[in-house]
Structure 1
Amino acid sequence: MSDFSTIFNRRNTFSAKWDMLKQVYAIEDDTDVLPMWVADMDFGLAPVIQEAIHKRLEHPVFGYSIAPEAVKDALSTWVSTKHQLEIQNEWILLRHGVIPGMAEAVDAFSQKGDKILVHTPIYPPFKGIPNNLEREVVTCRLIENGNSFEIDWTAFKECLKQDIKIFILCNPHNPGGKVWGREDLTKMAALCKQHDVLILSDEIHSDLVFKPNKHIPLLVAAEETDNIITFFAPTKTFNLAGIQGAATIVPNEKLRKVLENGATRRGEMGLNVFSLTAMQAAYEHGEQWLEGLLEVVEGNMKYVVEHLSAIEGVKVSMPEGTYLMWIDYRGTGLNEKDMMDLLLTKGRLALEPGTKYGEGGDGFLRMNVACPRATVEDGVARFKLALS
């Protein structure tokens, strides 16, 4: 039976979320700080996945592993059933994560100095990867619509005229929780095709979408798909980031061969046996657990919206997807430094500062609510205390 109420002690478990607070937030004592920043869950593993790993552990030999076709079958069936996306197993390249897969693609299909387009505010690696590879990042700021976002089509078209090589899309959007609709996706795809721009579509949050919203893969919405590479992973959906494993979906055979040959040249190894086991179990048997998760997370989000929106100067609305809240505190008159200081020193609460997400992030905070309700209530109380 799935358990979404137990609070697990994650300290001293090599947890980035819980064991890196001193380094990330420059604080001397983190013993009573509540971390609601990094995007992983504080829920226990889905029992069907844990059982599959236990069963594999019963066999005492852990030699070199191969990726069974059943893993790709499970993924292709999952995206077909949940997202009406039909893919062929040969399109699937298994990788250690979406970010490594994205970096691999940027490195393979652009040169130093080439321009990479991203929306802002955006998940920091979207800018970090191109910067690390000595590419030039071109940003197109999203338009605020209430507490959600829309695409500035005039700006987007102007950006594409700048000899852009690659556009990196985040769908659903992190940190805003926007689930892009079919019309927006089709239009983005057509414009990029017109300008001969490769699209890297990060769809890692595709399973974390709340009704009546529905995730539409770019490969479904686009009229032409030979310039699209999509990334899926069970790591966000099933909290498997510590095991690692993702899929790079490449319908274009020429692009796929480039990535395959590059991996061979670098001597890259395949996924480990636990990653393969977990991925297959998640996609074959994880649907019921996911339904329970979405119900809990949606309830947590409604609680945060109700209670934080009651604070003068703070605005929060329901995201359409992800388990991340994008909190607007501009009405408080506080700058980011003062807000973060209050949260950490008075509230003992660690959230993500909005400027981390680039232009359009100033005056916002990102809060992760993929945790038991008691933890969410504690986090909200700490937020209120910080601003009291």
Structure 2
Amino acid sequence: MPRWFIPLLILSVLFFVLEIYAFQAIKTLTKNKLIRYGWLLFSVVAYGYFLYTMFTYDRGNGQTREFQWAVGILLIALIPKIFMIIALLSEDVFRILQKGVSLFSSETKPLAGRRKFMSQIALGLAAIPFASLLYGIFKGKYNYKVLKYQLTFKDLPEAFDGFTISHITDIHSGSFDNKEKIEYAVDLINQQKSDILFFTGDIVNNFASEMDEWIPSFSKLEAPMGKYSILGNHDYGDYSDWKTPEAKAKNFEAVKEIHPKIGFDLLLNENRYIEKDGQKIALIGVENWGKGFNQAGDLQKASEGVNKEDFKILLSHDPSHWENKVKQNDFNYHLTLSGHTHGLQFGIEIPGFIKWSPAKYVYKQWAGLYEEFGRYVNVNRGFGYHAFPGRVGIWPEITVIELKKG
């Protein structure tokens, strides 16, 4: 018996119970057979398409758009029903308590119409994630936002007072399906007119060839003091089945060759100095370092030749690197730029009120700017998307950071 069989069986039983429970609300609200059977048919198609895709797609092809759509349709069918169950469970808990009270009191009577009312509430709650997921798939994944920060450092060289940085990450070119939107995003980056541009990894999902049709678009990116990049976990080809180790190595070399083709200086555990008016800051780029997986990043090697007193900007794809290796490092990396999390492409953000995503239960630093020990990390929410073919509440991001002398 395959090791995945038992987990799949448990999930199947849970989903079946979920569907039966949610269907009770539809039965309560309408006797129209077309609506009832249509509801069931959509669920059957969503689960069937997902299972068919899971069992038939070739892992050697990596994560295809067909796989992403199967995930998207499954979430559209599943997540709204979870919201429904929250309302229906509260109703059932109330009924159980009411039944218990009725055993000791002859005056307690069931509330007429309560089940129908709660079914209406449940359906109304379900409509929110349903509409949000649809928007996220068709519009949200290209709803680019420019987020601006100003950071002050007392040891910033005076020549760099007012120096501006544009930061993008996680392009995931294999997921794109709209050239017009990508061209718009490239223009939006250029409109920021930052001094320098950084890209912090995951240029593809799996294969270097995914970027072929997008090279002309990303070649238009401009920055007067240079464009610099690093690798992310997806750039190593670890999420595909390769026929030979040589094929994987060849793809990895091709991925690295993409960067100069679009005008980026790829830093592979190495550093550069950026000079302005006779003063300089150090730019350090590490390969991917993630807690619990791919740890090709070598901070010590990347920092060779850099002085401790230099002002330093570190490019590191995974924010768990900052949390575990960088933030308390005596070498003092002033500003780290990361990505990787995507904010899970799902959450709620209302500036000044709420910032939530399931990503917060996986990563301590999952989206935005964080500061500890006088050092900063910016976790960009990502330029592209992956797995789920959309974004809900966590929009694609272009970060602009202005450095100020304190």
For the superposition of Structure 1 and Structure 2, which TM-score range results when normalised by the shorter chain?
Answer: 0.3 to 0.5
Determine which structure has greater relative contact order: mean sequence separation of CA pairs < 8 Å that are 6+ residues apart, divided by chain length.
1
Per the normalisation by structure 1, the TM-score is: 0.33
Return the index of the structure with the highest Cα Rg: 2
Per the normalisation by structure 2, the TM-score is: 0.32
- Structure with bigger strand share is 2
